[in-house]
Amino acid sequence: MKCDLVVVGAGPGGSMTAKVAAEAGLDVVMLEKRQEIGDPVRCAEGVSKAALRKLVDLDPVWISAEVKGARLRAPDGTEIVMSEDRTGAEVGYVLERKVFDRALARDAAEAGAKVMVKTRALGLLHEKGVPSGISAQFVGESLKIEAPLIIGADGVESKVGRWAGIDTALKPKDIETCAQFLLQDEKIDDEYCEFYLGNDIAPGGYVWSFPKGEKLANVGIGVLGSKANSGTPIRLLREFVAKNFPDGKILEMMVGGVPVSGPIETTTADGVILVGDAARQSDPITGGGIINAMRAGVMAGEIAADQVPKGEVDKESLQIYEKRWRETIGKQITRNFAVKEFFVDLTDDDLNHLTHSLNGINVAELDLRGLLKVLVRQNPKHLLKLRHLIV
């Protein structure tokens, strides 16, 4: 097979890339190793309404719940409640990713991309030392797909980057190890996304409950890799559920990782671009990566459509992608990485103290950045290190 562009992975990043490039006239092939796009889900499915609406025309069937806001709980139980319209990239909609991911892939197919499921990319093809396509396997059959440009949108466990010599390795302190239950319980709050903080609850991370309607929620935990052993997230999540939802029924369970490394050194190589989790573009504070993967996918698709017809796909020519995403997504994740580095080492007393400092302040209308600003204002000495990042 021959085409202009191979996209590896049909998550939100890959499908947006494939759609944008195909709409611009490129001959695109998108490979997905799973037999069903979007399934199994490894995500809590929370996105900001405003950010999603900027990227796609919304279809209500993608949404399993629309929430009123977010509730943050300090280790001693003190609560901060933030309203939905200002909580930035964290909440708004809880998606049904099985439906959402499939819809984005269908949009890519409608734009003209050839979508191949149950097709696993196995390695890069080379010509004169430069990547010239992908070798893959489709239901036991070997395939060679020649293309001048490969986009690796193959998620947190990305191999495309490694094949191209890009260092995507994550240190334990740069990955949240996660576990999640789909939980049914009368005590689930159907109207708010909830975040629970504390070093005993989730060292270097947090526990979340994202409602999916009718007393169903994605209840999960992220624990910083450097503060966890392999079984830690599941053990802590079980303890949390036993304490907070003792009658809860676990209907699904999954484990996964979220990069919280901030921008990596490079996301391009000759003939290769990385997008989304493969490029470590998720938010280091929240771990959210759907919106950033989609935004990076749009950029990569547009740049592919410009560069491929000109035959300019060497690493130097692809710097235009590095520049675009670093000036946008990159700025936000650089700042949030520094904030995360500070917060992961706070004690429970620190977290309680910071939460109490908001007593009497109306935080309901603040977004995450606004909340951090108020925290710095209320705790100038304690949060001195964050001042230059936030104010």
Ligand X SMILES: Cc1cc2nc3c(=O)[nH]c(=O)nc-3n(C[C@H](O)[C@H](O)[C@H](O)COP(=O)(O)OP(=O)(O)OC[C@H]3O[C@@H](n4cnc5c(N)ncnc54)[C@H](O)[C@@H]3O)c2cc1C
Stretch that binds ligand X, among 198-206, 239-247, 290-298, 378-386 (CB under 6 A): 290-298
Per rule CB under 6 A, is residue 262 in the interface with ligand X?
no
Half-sphere exposure of 250 (CA within 13 A, CB side): 15
The footprint of ligand X on residues 339-368 (CB under 6 A) is none
1 Cα distance to chain centroid: 32
Q: Rank residues 290 and 376 by Cβ distance to ligand X and give the closer one.
A: 290
Among 23, 26, 33, 199, binds ligand X (CB under 6 A): 33
Among 11, 88, 133, 225, binds ligand X (CB under 6 A): 11
- Angle CA 237–241–242, to nearest 5: 115
From residue 138 to residue 177, the character string flagging contacts with ligand X as x (rule: CB under 6 A) and all else as - is ---------------xxx---x------------------
Per rule CB under 6 A, is residue 10 in the interface with ligand X?
yes
Please give the backbone phi and psi of residue 261, each rounded to the nearest 5 degrees, phi first.
-90, -15
Q: Give the whole-angstrom CA distance, residue 331 versus residue 171.
A: 21
Stretch that binds ligand X, among 55-63, 284-292, 342-350, 352-360 (CB under 6 A): 284-292
227 Cα distance to chain centroid: 21
Report which secondary-structure segment, H or E, holds 147: none
Length of the chain: 391
Q: Rank residues 11 and 75 by Cβ distance to ligand X and give the closer one.
A: 11
Alpha carbon of 301 to those of 26, 30, 269, 345: distances in Å? 9, 12, 16, 39
Per rule CB under 6 A, is residue 70 in the interface with ligand X?
no
Please give the backbone phi and psi of residue 297, each rounded to the nearest 5 degrees, phi first.
-65, -40
Per rule CB under 6 A, is residue 288 in the interface with ligand X?
yes
Q: Give min distance, CB of 256 to ligand X, in A.
A: 3
Per rule CB under 6 A, is residue 13 in the interface with ligand X?
yes
Q: Give the whole-angstrom CA distance, residue 348 versus residue 110.
A: 51
Please give the backbone phi and psi of residue 378, each rounded to the nearest 5 degrees, phi first.
-80, -20
Q: Give min distance, CB of 82 to ligand X, in A.
A: 16
Per rule CB under 6 A, is residue 120 in the interface with ligand X?
yes
Among 63, 82, 258, 300, binds ligand X (CB under 6 A): 258
Among 289, 303, 304, 383, binds ligand X (CB under 6 A): 289
The footprint of ligand X on residues 193-252 (CB under 6 A) is 220
Q: Give min distance, CB of 376 to ligand X, in A.
A: 26
Among 28, 121, 147, 183, binds ligand X (CB under 6 A): 121
Among 7, 20, 22, 45, binds ligand X (CB under 6 A): 45
Per rule CB under 6 A, is residue 46 in the interface with ligand X?
yes
CA-CA-CA-CA torsion sign (190, 195, 200, 202): positive
Secondary structure (H, E, C), 24-71: CCCCEEEECCCCCCCCCCCCCCEEEHHHHHHHCCCCHHHEEEECCEEE
DSSP string, 78-130: -EEEEEGGGSTTS-EEEE-HHHHHHHHHHHHHHTTPEEESSEEEEEEEEETTE
Binding site for ligand X (CB under 6 A): 8-14, 31-34, 42-47, 120-121, 153-155, 159, 178, 180, 220, 256, 258, 276-278, 282, 287-291, 293
